[in-house]
Chain A
């Protein structure tokens, strides 16, 4: 494949599966396509299979079955060429606390084979780009979480990859750091870099991604642009949280006549898709009042990606991973395997 063709190629995945010993399928036959220059948001709770997918696509974990081509190269037969075309910032910024930011950049550029004269220039350019020029000679152990993530991103870009994998790049960051990283990722996409971004933050996928794939229990349950996915839901959701958590079932009963139930919410309430739209809100209040249920919170939600997740899986994305600790642990073991 020529360099131009490589630049034009994105990611193509067919029937990708990864099984672990004595465990469920972490990734269970996913298909997806990411066009060149696109930001693809891969959304799902902890343990859904996001990181395992990234490890396979970055050649760090062989798939059990299925095929995938990244930048036009087969991830199993052409692993070396895939690695040459991609950059990756995996879960948790994997940095050496004893090295400085500049030393990290020099090591990374050298290992990628950049000529000596170019290494210093490229390192300085990337450190400036992520706002770490002043901190470049400080040891990474002294960096904040946001600085580490930005250095991680700079390292992933050292060899000018055409495809960038970012595995939960903003997890644990404050809003300012998250926003700065979003700007940087958006800027990269404008330059033509294909971005495969895993996240468990709805607003991140909504703000950044051209298209979103929602993964749950190793399967893609929905895919499309954020607008398309939300349009599928169409109707607003009303969520009622009782003052007494023991009233959750009574709330669900009271809401039942108003539309399709979305199940229990992570706040201990119940929610329903309003068949008749926002105008039914007053009727909902009256129904709850008639049942004599004291309400702590009543919220009307415009359709969101969380509603899409709820509609497709019967659970809310926020906190969905909490009851999946086992699956989450297996995914972490996969990362470390």
Chain B
């Protein structure tokens, strides 16, 4: 297959994935409302945390604004995975398998929906956060960097949803991932900076949790300024999850599509 045919396949499947996403308000609305609701609750309830010595900002809203980007990425795991699981359950994947479709085109196309959802989410969280009074010390270029990082994480997490969908073929199995990922989010620097977590075991777990460094990358742009180390870590973790997720999903796709 030539490169042009592959790009046509990716483009067509991406278009389908985006259409599916935009035509399912039930996918988009909770992914926007739920993280913003938690942001409102946390930034109101934990405001006094800014009085702790060493807290990096006097606006808890600004500190907490990093969290919706991660929660939004968790929704992308569900949405990408559930969509693919539905294709498996309904036999649509078999229809695709009967065409000269390449596995890479299928996975890339499916992630296009996660990409679009990621863009919508990141833009919404950022605008709502700034309107509510959050700070963004890196200005407009920082906003673009936040959106880029958010979309990267959303797409990277989406590959994990694809992997589980391909391994299990079940939408329920994909949905069951949500609490697991939520635990990862809670055992991180979600509520406090790493160096202010005083409970030893929690500090150890949060320090080993990649989510803490993804949050750190967002916070560097919101609170501290251009910290290339934090950004490299954030984008690097996203790229690593993306690479591992794509590898695992590709292997699972080969097993799932046993076509000769």
Chain B proximity of A298: nearest CB distance (Å): 44
Q: Does B100 lie within 8 Å of A75, measured CB to CB? A: no
How long is the Cα–Cα vector from A87 to B92 in the complex, in angstroms?
14
Chain B residue numbers with a CB within 8 Å of A108 are 95, 99
Q: Does B169 lie within 8 Å of A336, measured CB to CB? A: yes
Q: Does B16 lie within 8 Å of A107, measured CB to CB? A: yes
Which residues of A in the span 271-307 have a Cβ within 8 Å of any Cβ on B?
A: none
How long is the Cα–Cα vector from A82 to B98 in the complex, in angstroms?
9
A99 within 8 A of B: yes
Chain B proximity of A79: nearest CB distance (Å): 4
Q: Does A83 lie within 8 Å of B98, measured CB to CB? A: yes
Among A24-32, A109-117, A247-255, the stretch that binds chain B is: A109-117
A177 within 8 A of B: no
Chain B residue numbers with a CB within 8 Å of A90 are 91, 94-95
Q: Which of A82, A91, A139, A155 contacts B91 (CB 8 A)?
A: A91
A58 within 8 A of B: yes
Q: Does B94 lie within 8 Å of A94, measured CB to CB? A: yes
How long is the Cα–Cα vector from A194 to B87 in the complex, in angstroms?
28
Q: Which of B23, B89, B101 contacts A111 (CB 8 A)?
A: B101
Q: Does B100 lie within 8 Å of A112, measured CB to CB? A: yes
B254 within 8 A of A: no
Q: Does A96 lie within 8 Å of B12, measured CB to CB? A: no
How long is the Cα–Cα vector from A58 to B95 in the complex, in angstroms?
11
Q: Does A111 lie within 8 Å of B16, measured CB to CB? A: no
Q: Does A83 lie within 8 Å of B99, measured CB to CB? A: yes
Q: Does A60 lie within 8 Å of B97, measured CB to CB? A: yes
A95 within 8 A of B: yes
Chain A residue numbers with a CB within 8 Å of B98 are 58-60, 83, 86-88
Q: Does B20 lie within 8 Å of A96, measured CB to CB? A: yes
A103 within 8 A of B: yes
Chain B residue numbers with a CB within 8 Å of A83 are 98-100, 259
Q: Does A60 lie within 8 Å of B23, measured CB to CB? A: no
Q: Does A111 lie within 8 Å of B100, measured CB to CB? A: yes
Q: Does B23 lie within 8 Å of A155, measured CB to CB? A: no
A1 within 8 A of B: no
Q: Which of A76, A96, A98, A111 contacts B99 (CB 8 A)?
A: A111
- Contacts known (A111-B9, A112-B100, A336-B88); A62 close to B258, Cβ less than 8 A: yes
How long is the Cα–Cα vector from A79 to B99 in the complex, in angstroms?
11
A335 within 8 A of B: yes
Please count how many residues in chain A sit with their CB below 8 Å of the partner chain's CB atoms: 37
Q: Does A335 lie within 8 Å of B100, measured CB to CB? A: no
Q: Does B92 lie within 8 Å of A94, measured CB to CB? A: yes
User: Which of B19, B20, B98, B99 has the most chain A CB atoms closer than 10 A to its own CB?
Assistant: B98
A337 within 8 A of B: yes
Q: Does A62 lie within 8 Å of B260, measured CB to CB? A: yes
Which residues of B in the span 169-228 have a Cβ within 8 Å of any Cβ on A?
A: 169
Chain B residue at minimum C-beta to C-beta distance from A108: B99
Chain B proximity of A17: nearest CB distance (Å): 15
Q: Does B20 lie within 8 Å of A95, measured CB to CB? A: no
A92 within 8 A of B: yes
How long is the Cα–Cα vector from A113 to B89 in the complex, in angstroms?
26
How long is the Cα–Cα vector from A106 to B100 in the complex, in angstroms?
15
B96 within 8 A of A: yes
Contact with B along A103-141 (1 / 0, CB 8 A): 100111011110000000000000000000000000100
Chain A residue numbers with a CB within 8 Å of B87 are 96
Q: Does B259 lie within 8 Å of A59, measured CB to CB? A: yes
Chain B residue numbers with a CB within 8 Å of A111 are 9, 12, 96, 99-101
Q: Does A94 lie within 8 Å of B99, measured CB to CB? A: no
How long is the Cα–Cα vector from A77 to B92 in the complex, in angstroms?
24
A80 within 8 A of B: yes
B8 within 8 A of A: yes
A84 within 8 A of B: yes
A61 within 8 A of B: yes
Q: Does A60 lie within 8 Å of B94, measured CB to CB? A: yes
Chain B residue numbers with a CB within 8 Å of A84 are 100
How long is the Cα–Cα vector from A108 to B96 in the complex, in angstroms?
8
Chain A residue numbers with a CB within 8 Å of B89 are 336
How long is the Cα–Cα vector from A77 to B259 in the complex, in angstroms?
11
Chain A residue numbers with a CB within 8 Å of B88 are 336
Chain B proximity of A119: nearest CB distance (Å): 10
Q: Does B91 lie within 8 Å of A92, measured CB to CB? A: yes
Q: Does A103 lie within 8 Å of B19, measured CB to CB? A: yes
How long is the Cα–Cα vector from A112 to B96 in the complex, in angstroms?
10
Q: Does B24 lie within 8 Å of A98, measured CB to CB? A: yes
Chain B residue numbers with a CB within 8 Å of A95 are 90, 92
Sample (10) of A-B pairs whose CB atoms are under 8 Å apart = A79-B259, A80-B100, A86-B98, A90-B91, A95-B90, A96-B87, A110-B9, A111-B96, A336-B88, A336-B89
Query: A60-B98, A79-B260, A83-B99 provided; 9 other pairs, C-beta below 8 A?
Result: A59-B98, A59-B260, A60-B97, A90-B95, A103-B19, A108-B99, A113-B8, A155-B95, A335-B94
The 4 closest A-B pairs by CB, nearest first: A94-B91, A79-B260, A111-B99, A110-B12
